[in-house]
């Protein structure tokens, strides 16, 4: 493939059907993949890499111009019915693209932008919620989060099933919350292709989920629970309980004092902090 072919070939190729295929008419994505395979086969990526990346990046502009995000069929749904795509897929894609721009590092801009997007995409997003960069989620429409909670960087919210996060919850960096499992008992199919089952996850108000912890599908965490860093939670956690380890086990309870003032989420954010 001659150097410079990509730019001329794709200059006017992007449009509403850049991703959507029709019988006998390959999409722009199909053609880009074919071109990339040819560049590798001929060992011509050196010298054409910038042109190829520029052409591929134009797909993002097409998504932004049209609002259309085509998703591939789920190869791991097994014999289950394909879940419909989220109606807010474009806003989810925009969030991911925004988080890959230098502007996403400007917190005064990025924090309100992400919160506004969450209020558009999620089932519910309360006031004062903070999302740091590169938070990922499956759909968004199955997530409900209360007021003044923090979702730190590189958190994965697998909301194929419902995720409920209370108010004043801190979710540390690298946390994964799963809502689906695989049917390991089905020997008629490979495990990966045997489908999924959804089980909701709930986190009570005023809780802390430590760095890199994993919450497995179906668990419920009570009020003011604390999960230690790198823990894997496989069972429900009662109120006021600290858990840690793999799998996570109860370490101790931190109960409120019997006398004196006690803050509660209904009091709202303290005015002196």
Active site members? 182
CA distances from 42 to 35, 135, 192, 234, 259 (A): 11, 38, 35, 50, 77
Of 169, 166, 170, 197, the closest CA to residue 78 belongs to 197
Of 248, 211, 176, the closest CA to residue 238 belongs to 248
Q: β-strand 241-244 against 249-253: which pairing, if any?
A: antiparallel
Task: Tokens for 51, please give them.
Answer: 């042109």
Alpha carbon distance 60, 187 (integer Å): 41
Most distant CA pair in the chain, distance: 80
Distance in angstroms between the alpha carbons of the first and the last residue of the chain: 63
Q: Give the dihedral of Cα atoms 10, 15, 16, 22; nearest 10 deg.
A: -30
Dihedral sign for Cα 254, 255, 257, 263, please: positive
Task: Tokens for 233, please give them.
Answer: 């939670």
């Amino acid at each position: 493939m001659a150097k410079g072919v990509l730019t001329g070939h794709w200059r006017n190729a992007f449009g509403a059907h850049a991703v959507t295929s029709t019988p006998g008419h390959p999409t722009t994505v199909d053609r880009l993949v074919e071109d990339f395979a040819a560049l590798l086969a001929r060992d011509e990526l050196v010298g054409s890499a910038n042109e190829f990346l520029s052409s591929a990046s134009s797909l993002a502009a097409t998504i932004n111009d049209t609002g259309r995000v085509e998703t591939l069929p789920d190869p791991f749904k097994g014999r289950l019915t394909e879940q419909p795509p989220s109606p807010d897929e474009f806003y989810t894609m925009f969030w991911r693209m925004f988080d890959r721009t230098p502007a996403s590092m400007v917190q005064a801009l990025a924090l309100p932008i992400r919160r506004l997007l969450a209020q558009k995409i999620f089932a519910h997003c309360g006031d004062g919620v903070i999302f740091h960069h590169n938070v990922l989620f499956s759909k968004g429409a199955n997530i409900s989060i209360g007021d003044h909670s923090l979702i730190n960087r590189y958190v994965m919210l697998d909301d194929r099933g419902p995720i409920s996060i209370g108010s004043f919850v801190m979710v540390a960096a690298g946390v994964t919350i799963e809502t689906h499992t695989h049917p390991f008992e089905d020997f008629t199919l490979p495990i990966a292709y045997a489908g999924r089952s959804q089980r909701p996850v709930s986190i009570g108000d005023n809780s802390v989920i430590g760095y890199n912890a994993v919450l497995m599908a179906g668990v419920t965490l009570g009020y003011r629970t604390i999960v230690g860093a790198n823990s894997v939670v496989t069972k429900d956690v009662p109120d006021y309980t600290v858990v840690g380890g793999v799998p996570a086990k109860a370490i101790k309870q931190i109960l409120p004092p019997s006398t004196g003032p006690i803050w509660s989420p209904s009091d709202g954010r303290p005015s002196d902090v």
